[in-house]
Amino acid sequence: MSFKGKTALVTGSTSGIGLAVATRFASLGANVVLNGFGDAAEIEKIRAFLAATHGVEVTYDGADMSKPAEIAAMVEKAIARFGAVDILVNNAGIQFVSPVEDFPIEKWDAIIAINLSSSFHTIRAALPAMKARGAGTIINIASAHALIASPFKSAYVSAKHGVAGLTKTVALEVAEMGITCNAICPGYVLTPLVEKQIPDTAKARNMTEEEVIKKVILEAQPTKRFVKVEEVAGIAAFLASPDAASITGATISVDGGWSAR
């Protein structure tokens, strides 16, 4: 499998799943546009390492995924530099855990903006060039929570269900244009996002953090282990390959059997 000469834009790719996906595409020959927050020196270290290790061009764009104008500018710059965004991976996300009645309105708005609306804005910006070329791959990193719900995660679950709906709608609109749009739905992956929500979940459920990991997080996954970021990256690479040309509008579970319950 090779993506030499192609360009992948991966949002939220300075850590966790996004970084694993960006790394996988770089290792397969794709130029990569990184995006996300973090320490500038650390991000530059990641960018330079990927470029040098895999012999591809890697750039970084610090677009704030809650701001539509910055998102549009990021996609425009990527197309201007590389000629196309062949592979768009929407991965940026944040989380907050709280009962509905206590859920801060500003947290709801931020989660909907970054976890759902940002995918709409990137797709909206990238599609015209994909249509003009008659080719493109859109991959939305959703969640098991795009298919099922958990308490205390009203905004996250709502946003991820929205991502599943957006995926299906876009897939139908571009089905005859050589463009695919799919959603990967991981279960619990031990990323910074998950690590940060463990204390909040412990507080919301009146548990210790160890109890949350065993009785809430891994209890949900029949395999009783965290999904690996490399496993998600492998699915993303497959979805961008010719072998997946007839897979579109799909929500693909990578959740250790969680959604099979």
- 156 is annotated as an active-site residue: yes
Question: Which tokens in the block code for residue 212?
Answer: 């949350």
* Residue-wise burial string across 50-79, b where 16 or more C-beta atoms lie within 10 A, e elsewhere: bbeebebebbbbebbbbebebbbebbeebb
**Cβ neighbours of residue 182 under 8 Å, at least 6 residues apart?**
138, 139, 140, 167, 171, 239, 244, 247, 248, 249, 250, 251, 252
Question: Which tokens in the block code for residue 177?
Answer: 């244009």
Set 60, 156, 188, 226: catalytic member: 156
Give Cα separations from 17 to 82, 83, 166, 209, 220 (angstroms).
24, 26, 20, 22, 20
Burial class (CB in 10 A: 0-12, 13-18, 19+), 205: middle
Give Cα separations from 52 to 44, 168, 248 (angstroms).
12, 37, 33
Question: Which tokens in the block code for residue 32?
Answer: 């990569």
Residues labelled catalytic = 156
